[in-house]
Structure 1
């Protein structure tokens, strides 16, 4: 018997855990997943723990008020989502019914999904109950329009080939660290006082936000020690733990600044330029579902922008 002839049950976890995992990963919330599945939050948590024990890996990073997918969780979600979609489509065909909702695949960074979009998704679901958002956290830009995703939300300067990019909202960036790190290594009287670092960065081909900020303050950070981490969520956790200096994306860390778990080292030297969050769509006419989502998220961004970005004091 070949590997592909082996019984599926040999490599399948309890199927209920997969359904629960898909709901939690898509919503990035145990509470919203529990509401969707009409079960208790405790039951959802139990099923996720059961799946993690079966797989031998953590699928989520748990925090007090939010969760996010680990690298393993993100990879597994992609495969589970496609599998469940295939089962659902097959079921609809057998039963001879059409889908009651229209799926919309949104590729985005896990950090933006966790800290900005997820808290607003209840509003979208209430306004557009016939659209089923499928959040696809990924570091890489998905192949928009070729089935991988219908739309993407990306952080950067807006220069991506063969797609249309529209600025959703600008970001305000400035170095941040934990109060404990500041007490041990500060006070920082000039940017050169940060030369011991380490600077906490997520893996990327080009660290454009650090480049833009260092150019803004005319500081050469070439020789400053750096630590490369998987993504921005991990960068933030490392900074909160006092392990170094991160570039603070103010729109994503407002609650951490307000709570005092992170502080801006030089709030007066914050950079507000061309860096921000961009809506990336196919360079072609868009369907009505995409346009509905674009209209909603633009309104949400405008509402957020009405509250001015104020530097945090320390």
Structure 2
């Protein structure tokens, strides 16, 4: 049975008309006549057997069905355009991997090491996308994910990478007293929004008195918290692996013990079924595990 898929011309005309709320402006954007836009919309509505716009005189406005369809069409066209640019930019005979990664891990650890991967596998193009929250991997367009353990990955193939431990860290200029535990209580605390009880757990585990563990600003990402710490705005609980360089160069200090309970397991998550990029993904996994082994030996 032939699939009911609208033509690309109809979808582009509908998308432009939906964004502009005007057939004339849509026609100008696509270098068509207003009549051509109108005919494409009519063909699309005939295929769908429903109206997408409410017409009031010369004006058009998406109805509820049209608004919902416009959202999905926009996502589809955007993804098709991205995929087209990916293919256009790939050298002949090369392979491509699309990997979803937590933002701070990608910017602070993974991307700075990718020269090593590229030198070993120059024929593999590695596309990195930031994803903060877990999601359903099959059908997402990603070949794999680097993320913490979560129920969303149930049924997927998982390779353990590392255990993330949090440690308090601050700018050295903020430490003006030999009693660092007292100062930890006095310094402004920086929180991650996704882990609002972290300082409470750290105080209980370490035995360091914190009068109000919940007090302080909140940021979404470790990257943001690290930026605030670098600016001397307070003390934050961040993973050691993200601030190795700053600690070794004395740009940041951590005279307090790291937490053992504030930790997460991070994994490379792969679909259950192997795909056309499986060989490239195996090479990436081997390289990633070798880098993790190097990290473990240096810790």
2:238 to 241, 248, 269: 248
User: Who is 2:288 aligned against?
Assistant: 297
Q: For each residue in 1:116-162, what CA deviation from the matched residue of structure 2 results, as whole angstroms up to 9, or x when unmatched?
A: 112221111122222210010232234323234211112x4x23332
Distance in 2 separating the partners of 1:80 and 1:209: 38
Is 1:179 aligned with 2:177? Answer: no
Show structure 2 runs of 5+ residues with no match. Answer: 1-21, 32-76
SS at 1:146 equivalent: coil
User: Who is 1:133 aligned against?
Assistant: 126
SS at 1:116 equivalent: helix
Is 1:281 aligned with 2:279? Answer: no
Q: For each residue in 1:48-104, what CA deviation from the matched residue of structure 2 results, as whole angstroms up to 9, or x when unmatched?
A: xxxxxxxxxxxxxxxxxxxxxxxxxxxxxxx98863432454x69xxxx99532221
User: Who is 1:104 aligned against?
Assistant: 97
- Say if 1:202 and 1:230, in contact at 8 Å, map to a contact too: yes
Distance in 2 separating the partners of 1:5 and 1:222: 64
Cα 1:142–1:196 shift into 2, 3 Å:
same
Cα 1:174–1:88 shift into 2, 3 Å:
closer
Is 1:115 aligned with 2:105? Answer: no
CA deviation after TM superposition for structure 1 residue 212, in Å: 5.5
Q: How many residues align?
A: 226
TM-score (norm 1): 0.61
1:86 to 61, 75, 84: 84
1:7 to 23, 29, 32: 29
TM-score (norm 2): 0.64
Q: For each residue in 1:262-305, what CA deviation from the matched residue of structure 2 results, as whole angstroms up to 9, or x when unmatched?
A: 10031xx2234653432222244462222221111001111221
- Correspondence list, 1:91-240, <5 A: 100-154=93-147, 156=148, 158-161=149-152, 162=154, 163-183=156-176, 186-190=177-181, 193-204=183-194, 206-207=195-196, 210=199, 213-218=202-207, 223-224=212-213, 225-240=215-230
Q: Alignment RMSD, CA only? A: 3.3
